[in-house]
A = this chain, B = another copy of it.
Amino acid sequence: MQPSPALIDEPPSETPSPRQQAVLDAALALMVEGNDPLTMDAVARRASCSKETLYKWFGDRDGLLTATVRWQASRVHAGRYEVSGLDATTLRENLLDFAESWLAVIGSRTSVALNRIAIAEAGSRRSNLGGIVLANGRFAIGERVKPVLEAGRAAGLLAFEDSEAAFRTFFGLVGRDIQIRLLLGDALDLDAAGIRSDAARAVEQFLALYGRAKP
């Protein structure tokens, strides 16, 4: 199953200037604090800029939101790909690393706030904020994990037919009910130790399902 066409990310659109980045950071900070409903006025006040500048730079509220999501996403994408010469240990470490970083992301207040806004927007307006969040979250990590899974299969460590299906199982084992509970306001705290043990459990379960003793 591929991302549907509507979710393809638009051309990256040049990176914002430092001042613009400061504005976007202000918007992020407001979202994370979550007290104000992220009004344009609040962003302008927080960033010490005028609303007119906001509209000049980002067009409208939706443009600001979109730029904010992209800006945040641009800071999260930092991954190393090590798919050549994969042995069981390396595979396990790779999966563990993905699981940990994914749990850290979905557990962060930033991610929760961003997803809440995108979900709320997806229910009403025709801004594909939701599509952008999906493209930079769920689908981005899928595209990074699947090569690892396929390398594991090529090395005889994993057995599956459809890497997308295998990844979705991995995704479910890692995330379980965490994201929906956080989004709905459950006070679920994930400390670093909890994330590590959760990730380890998910990886072991995944390997139990898809692992294959090397012949």
Chain B residues within 8 Å of A179, by CB: 180
Chain A, interface size category, equals 35 or more
User: In the complex, A119→B117 CA distance in Å?
Assistant: 9
User: In the complex, A117→B134 CA distance in Å?
Assistant: 19
Q: Which residue from B6, B113, B138 sits with its C-beta under 8 Å from A180?
A: B138
| Chain B nearest CB, measured from A206 CB (Å) | 10
| Complex copy number for this chain | 2
| Chain B nearest CB, measured from A10 CB (Å) | 15
Q: Which of A46-105 contact B (CB under 8 A)?
A: none
Spot the interface stretch: A15-23, A148-156, A164-172.
A164-172
A173 and B173 form a contact (CB under 8 A): yes
17 example contacts (A-B, Cβ-Cβ < 8 A) are as follows A3-B186, A7-B186, A34-B124, A37-B124, A113-B123, A116-B120, A119-B120, A119-B183, A122-B184, A133-B184, A134-B184, A134-B185, A138-B177, A168-B177, A169-B176, A173-B173, A183-B183
